[in-house]
Amino acid sequence: MKFKLIKSLDVAGLSVFEPVVRLLWGEEPKVQIKKIGLYIVIPLLVFISFLLVWDFMGPRHKTKSGEVPTPKVVLDAYKKIVLFHDQEYAKLDDYNREGEDRVAHLTEVESRLRIVRDVLGQIRIALEDAENQFQEKLAKYLKPYQQVVAEKQKDYQARKAEVEGKLITWGKQLDVNDKEGKKDYIKAVALAKREFEKNEKHLKVLRTELADKKINESPELVTLRLQQTKLEQEEQFLVKRISYLSRANRSLKIEAAETILGDQLANLSNAYGDEGVYGLTLNILNSQERIEKIKKSSYAKPPTFFDQIWTSIKCVFTGFLIATFIAIPLGILCGLSSVFMASMMPLISLFKPVSPIVWLPIVFIIVGGFITNPEEAFISPAFLSTAITVALCSLWPTLVNTALGVASVENDHLNVARMLRLNLWDRLTKIIIPSSLPLIFAGLRISLGVGWMVLIAGELLSSSPGLGKFVWDMFNNGSSETFAQMFVVVFFVGIIGFLLDRLMVIMQKLVSFDEAVSTL
Amino acid sequence: MIHHFLLPTRYPRALYWMLLFTLMASLSSCGGEGTGSDDSLDSLLEKAEKTAPISKEEKSGDRQSVSPEKVVQKISSTVLERNELKFGFIKLTDCAPIVIAKEKGFFDEVGLQVDVEAQPNWKTLLDRVISGELDGAHMLSGQPIAATIGFGTKAHIITAYTMDQNGNGITVSNAIWEQMQENDSSLKLPQPKHPISANTLRPIVEERKASGQLLKMGMVFPVSTHNYELRYWLAASGIHPGFYTNTDKVGETDAEVLLSVTPPPMMPTVLEAGNIQGYCVGEPWNQQAVAKGIGVPVTTNYDVWKNNPEKVFGVTKKWADENPITHIAVIKALIKAGKWLDSTNSEGDLVNREEACRILAQPNYVGADYDVIKNSMTGFFYFQKSDKRKMPEFNIFFKDHATYPWYSDGIWFLTQMRRWGQITESKPDAWYHETIKKVYRPDIYRLAAAELIQEGELEESEIPPVTTDGYKPATNEFIDGMTYDGRYPVKYLNSMKIGNKDLEASS
């Protein structure tokens, strides 16, 4: 049992937990505890201190788009993303509900809506009071400062008027030949000008200070406002749910259409000797068609965060598979034949360094040319273009590693094959590929990592509905949440990237004959 | 180990799916046979001719008679060709009609399930409409026109619905604003007199020109309302914004101010970074500049051209031809949404705007903070932190026939394209009228409106009278007081001081 666990931990690339298992079985506790301390406790401590530093530094770095969010704010943003997800799926379910289930939900939602509206009414009244109080308090607080600014302004204006008046009179009195006097006059005017400018500047500083002066809103007011926003959003959500449970519900729409169809059928069965029969029949066919369409319709749900993650994962694997199917055969050929390798070299070196941002528009145009009717295409062109871009950028590590793996198959093995007179196919499948598998998988692992990084950039540009689009949309929102939402994405991208890497490590371990070293 | 890994473990499930597919395939083919692979239309018709028709008298004896009036029905043509659609939009508050039509259930009412998807920029949006990935979209007024005449991507796009009027602002950086104040001290007042023209900007432009560092400003797209408005505002004060020519597709020939394309959400960031000194953009990006304290909106397009058309709902001609009934249904829902957005109470206050802001603030729509969206949408606009003004007509979604696709509105964009050289050769009046009739489709709007009037959702007076020729009366409500009459585009062009001029046909 113990060794099985250790083995599977090792395969999963989670050998850091190995000491825990050994400790549980009481094997050399001292050594194990030391190892746990080194490989688990210390990293954990570092992570916690990272969170603490972040929590401390975040609010102290102010940008014009708001503060850097603390871990708590990020968590709240995540909760909101989850809420959005849940609400959209609730609407989806409501649209598809029928029969008693629908009625039951309808009553439930309606009673909830009543409560929400009640509370909201109270909050609005309380909020108005609190707001008025706050404004009064603010006005009182600001008054002395405003007075200071007003007084200063008055002082400066008076001073300016006085000085200017004097200077003008002096200027008038200046004699034509009074060179000395004119020199003094210039000096005086320059000094006056400098003083005016200084005063203006001072006033401006005072005004800016005044604009920045504020008292914090009372916590009561802040909570009331938050509650109002939350409840108003819930109200909207509930109203929408009611419409999907009643007016806009699919089963009800079908029912209504079927009633019409029933009437029309009754009419037809009674009709005779009339030119209208043709029209009636057409109407019936139309009604039938309409019902079919309603039956097939589904709630048009915007993709939620988790839908987008799923799209991204599908996309990265599509791209990865394309890359694999291109890179492995090419790599094998390169490894087998030095002529082929030499002929491929210019192409590989030319295309390898090209950035995904360059590939994407090119791929987009090409794919667009093939898919002329995206409505009926089984795959969205945006999705496909992103996947191909991922493939183009991620196939190189696999290709190079495969070539290397194939080229470095031990000569002894090949000699054995020659002796057994194996044909090319057998040689490939029995000797060359199996012995180069560890290297191929090492390449695949790097490819998947590269693909995942390229993917986000690709989606951002192609607006394929994945994580990249989420990032771009949230950035475009420019709301106070934007910052925190980006951080949520950072963590998700990191975690998913990590899991993908682990997946490849497991595969690599499974195909390795020897104890190939895998780095964390 | 390898062996285990390579064998598909989900083998039985694959089998199950295959079975299901075969079953479904056979079922569907059964259905096909049932309805008529054996009985062809011709053989059926023949059969009907052979059987002697039963005379009326005979039949009425044994069955209850039904009055013919009840049987005769209009052939209902209301089966939607499509009932699941996808529309694109850009995150700006004027996408409201599409969002409201979805969220308030107007699309549901006409039997449509509509998915609305934010697009990264105007170019991608247009490309995806052309490629068919999107059925229709929230577009800049100039986009359908430019696409149809082939400036930029060429494709025949039509519009039967104008989404809103006004809604843009011109913002300059704090430094430029201070210099403008220096040039005209009346701007130092807490609430300076509007409209503010670019006259105070001209000395700055000249100074910059002399130093060899031209002033740079941002706009959102070459054929956007913003580009033309910014150019109009500058040119009205004698500042040359630059020509487009055959070789200059950026529009900087002879320019005294360099205009560059920047996506709306990037505007405040780029302004703050100092790459541009001002921009013209839609909401909420002017209010963002005020909120962040990085710039000052000096004027809105309400002052540049009062009640100018801003965004339209565009679809490709191909799509409209293939789905005429769906198109009318969409326009119906949009008209209702516009009406909802502009409905007022007895005191003339807009009653639904706050709810609309809540909806628009959702992250999958505009997503900006409710408070920021609320400013302009509920009739207020902050020019500076200390300068909050009432602007009840900052966004018009329905009032005064705003949603009707006026030919004269479209022609104004054509004249601006010619004025600044995006249309490289001179065109006669007739060309303008012909072109705009290809793009603007009031006929479709009228069909939708007629249905709404029949259903009691719309008043006769809420759409322009049938007698209109589609041109608004001449107006001089521009910042420079020039008169524009859409019937005589070339004459209008020639009345401008700066810009291309054409030969007028003698009439």
A211, A475, A485 member nearest B265 (Cβ): A475
- Judged by a CB distance cut-off of 8 A, whether residue A229 touches chain B is yes
- B384: β partners: B387
Q: With CB atoms and an 8 Å threshold, state whether B111 touches A290.
A: yes
Helix ranges (H only) for A29-98 are 29-36, 42-57, 71-96
| Three-class DSSP category at B279 | strand
∠ Cα A105 A111 A115 (to 5°): 140
Single out the residue of A233, A416, A407 nearest to residue A337, CA to CA. Answer: A407
Between A377 and B152, the higher pLDDT residue: B152
Give the lowest-confidence range in A25-29, A57-61, A359-363, A396-400: A57-61
User: What kind of architecture, by CATH, is found in domain A305-511?
Assistant: Orthogonal Bundle (1.10)
- Could you tell me the pLDDT band of residue B506, with boundaries at 50, 70 and 90? low
- Judged by a CB distance cut-off of 8 A, whether residue B48 touches chain A is no
Domain-wise residue ranges, chain A = 2-60, 103-222, 249-300, 305-511
B113, B120, B131 member nearest A374 (Cβ): B131
Is 70 exceeded by the pLDDT of residue A363? yes
> Are residues B466 and B320 part of one domain?
yes
Is residue B466 situated within a structural domain? yes
> Are residues B143 and B188 part of one domain?
no
Which pLDDT score, from 0 to 100, does residue B19 have? 52
Residues from chain A contacting residue B75 (CB–CB below 8 Å): 279, 282-283
> Are residues B276 and B236 part of one domain?
yes
- Judged by a CB distance cut-off of 8 A, whether residue A506 touches chain B is no
Q: State the sign of the Cα–Cα–Cα–Cα dihedral A163, A165, A166, A171.
A: positive
- Judged by a CB distance cut-off of 8 A, whether residue A96 touches chain B is no
Between B68 and B127, the higher pLDDT residue: B127
- Judged by a CB distance cut-off of 8 A, whether residue B307 touches chain A is no
The CA distance from B397 to B337, in Å, is: 9
- Judged by a CB distance cut-off of 8 A, whether residue A248 touches chain B is yes
Is 80 exceeded by the pLDDT of residue A349? yes
Please name the residue of chain B whose CA is at the shortest distance from the CA of residue A475: B265
Residues from chain A contacting residue B59 (CB–CB below 8 Å): 272-273
A275, A299, A475 member nearest B113 (Cβ): A299
Which pLDDT score, from 0 to 100, does residue B33 have? 42
Which pLDDT score, from 0 to 100, does residue A66 have? 66
Is 90 exceeded by the pLDDT of residue A257? no
Which pLDDT score, from 0 to 100, does residue A2 have? 77
Among B304, B328, B349, where does a domain finish? B304
- For residue B81, the Cα-to-chain-centroid distance in whole angstroms is 23
- Judged by a CB distance cut-off of 8 A, whether residue B373 touches chain A is no
- Judged by a CB distance cut-off of 8 A, whether residue A246 touches chain B is no
Q: What percent of chain A has pLDDT over 90?
A: 16
- Judged by a CB distance cut-off of 8 A, whether residue A271 touches chain B is yes
Q: How far is CA B210 from CA A125, B129, B206, B218, B275, in A?
A: 60, 45, 6, 21, 19
Is 90 exceeded by the pLDDT of residue B188? no
β-strand pairing of B257-261 with B215-219: parallel
CA distance A248 to chain B (A): 6
Q: What is the pLDDT of residues A450-468, one digit of tens each?
A: 999 889 888 887 777 888 8
Residues from chain A contacting residue B292 (CB–CB below 8 Å): 64-65
Gap between the terminal Cα atoms of chain B: 91
Is residue B204 situated within a structural domain? yes
Q: With CB atoms and an 8 Å threshold, state whether A463 touches B124.
A: yes
List CB contacts of B108: < 8 A, sequence separation 6 or more.
A243, A247, A248
Amino acid at residue number B262: T
Both tokens assigned to B439: 């793009």
The CA distance from B493 to B505, in Å, is: 13
Q: With CB atoms and an 8 Å threshold, state whether A64 touches B293.
A: yes
Within 10 A of B270 (CB to CB), how many other CB atoms are there?
A: 16
Q: What is the pLDDT of residues B425-446, one digit of tens each?
A: 888 888 999 999 999 999 999 9
Q: With CB atoms and an 8 Å threshold, state whether B361 touches A479.
A: yes
Residues from chain A contacting residue B115 (CB–CB below 8 Å): 300-302
- Could you tell me the pLDDT band of residue A64, with boundaries at 50, 70 and 90? low
Is residue B151 situated within a structural domain? yes
Picking from B7, B72, B270 by the largest number of A CB atoms within 10 A of its own CB, the best residue to mutate is B72
Please name the residue of chain B whose CA is at the shortest distance from the CA of residue A276: B72
Q: With CB atoms and an 8 Å threshold, state whether A474 touches B363.
A: yes
Tell me the Ramachandran region of residue B274: left when phi exceeds 0, alpha when psi lies from -120 to 50, beta otherwise.
left
What integer best gives the mean pLDDT of chain A?
85
Mean pLDDT of B344-353: 84
Mean pLDDT of A120-148: 88
Residues from chain B contacting residue A270 (CB–CB below 8 Å): 63-64, 66, 71
> Are residues B317 and B268 part of one domain?
no
Touching A: B residues 317-356, CB under 8 Å: 355
List CB contacts of A427: < 8 A, sequence separation 6 or more.
A414, A417
- Judged by a CB distance cut-off of 8 A, whether residue A369 touches chain B is no
The CA distance from B114 to B334, in Å, is: 12
> Are residues B232 and B139 part of one domain?
no
Which pLDDT score, from 0 to 100, does residue B67 have? 42
- State how many domains chain B has: 2
> Are residues B396 and B460 part of one domain?
yes
The CA distance from A336 to A404, in Å, is: 10
Q: What is the pLDDT of residues B55-111, one digit of tens each?
A: 444 444 444 444 444 433 344 446 778 888 999 999 888 899 999 999 998 998 888
Q: What percent of chain B has pLDDT over 70?
A: 86
CA distance A150 to chain B (A): 14
B72, B363, B385 member nearest A84 (Cβ): B363
Is 70 exceeded by the pLDDT of residue A513? no
The CA distance from B71 to B84, in Å, is: 32
> Are residues B366 and B219 part of one domain?
no
Which pLDDT score, from 0 to 100, does residue B25 have? 54
Single out the residue of A189, A208, A198, A187 nearest to residue A156, CA to CA. Answer: A198
> Which domain range does residue B242 map to?
169-304
- Judged by a CB distance cut-off of 8 A, whether residue B155 touches chain A is no
Which pLDDT score, from 0 to 100, does residue A451 have? 92
- Judged by a CB distance cut-off of 8 A, whether residue A251 touches chain B is no
> Are residues B355 and B317 part of one domain?
yes
- Judged by a CB distance cut-off of 8 A, whether residue A275 touches chain B is yes
Give this prediction's pTM. Answer: 0.78
Q: Where are the beta strands (DSSP E) in B356-505?
A: 380-384, 387-390
Among B275, B304, B333, where does a domain finish? B304
Residues from chain B contacting residue A234 (CB–CB below 8 Å): none
- Judged by a CB distance cut-off of 8 A, whether residue B310 touches chain A is no
> Are residues B146 and B92 part of one domain?
yes
Token pair 């009032």 in the structure block, residue: B399
Is residue B144 situated within a structural domain? yes
Token pair 């598909």 in the structure block, residue: B8
| Three-class DSSP category at B391 | coil
The CA distance from A352 to A323, in Å, is: 13
User: If you average pLDDT over each of A29-43, A450-464, B402-416, which comes out highest?
Assistant: B402-416
- Judged by a CB distance cut-off of 8 A, whether residue A472 touches chain B is yes
CATH code where residue B218 lies = 3.40.190.10
Q: With CB atoms and an 8 Å threshold, state whether A289 touches B370.
A: no
Is 50 exceeded by the pLDDT of residue B404? yes
Single out the residue of B397, B402, B166 nearest to residue B303, CA to CA. Answer: B166
Which pLDDT score, from 0 to 100, does residue A3 have? 79
Which pLDDT score, from 0 to 100, does residue B72 have? 37
The CA distance from B136 to B115, in Å, is: 11
- Judged by a CB distance cut-off of 8 A, whether residue A247 touches chain B is yes
- Judged by a CB distance cut-off of 8 A, whether residue A465 touches chain B is yes
Residue by residue, DSSP assigns A98-134 as: -HHHHHHHHHHHHHHHHHHHHHHHHHHHHHHHHHHHH
Question: Burial of A192 by CB count in 10 Å (0-12 exposed, 13-18 middle, 19+ buried)?
Answer: middle
Picking from A277, A375, A456, A507 by the largest number of B CB atoms within 10 A of its own CB, the best residue to mutate is A375
Between B58 and A267, the higher pLDDT residue: A267
Residues from chain A contacting residue B84 (CB–CB below 8 Å): 297-298, 300
Which pLDDT score, from 0 to 100, does residue A374 have? 65
- Could you tell me the pLDDT band of residue B20, with boundaries at 50, 70 and 90? low
Between A365 and B141, the higher pLDDT residue: B141
Residues from chain A contacting residue B265 (CB–CB below 8 Å): 475-476, 478
Give the lowest-confidence range in A10-24, B266-280, B395-409: A10-24
Please name the residue of chain A whose CA is at the shortest distance from the CA of residue B107: A248
Which pLDDT score, from 0 to 100, does residue A265 have? 86
Q: What is the pLDDT of residues A351-360, one digit of tens each?
A: 888 888 888 8
Is 50 exceeded by the pLDDT of residue B30? no
Among B304, B321, B351, where does a domain finish? B304
Which pLDDT score, from 0 to 100, does residue B123 have? 86
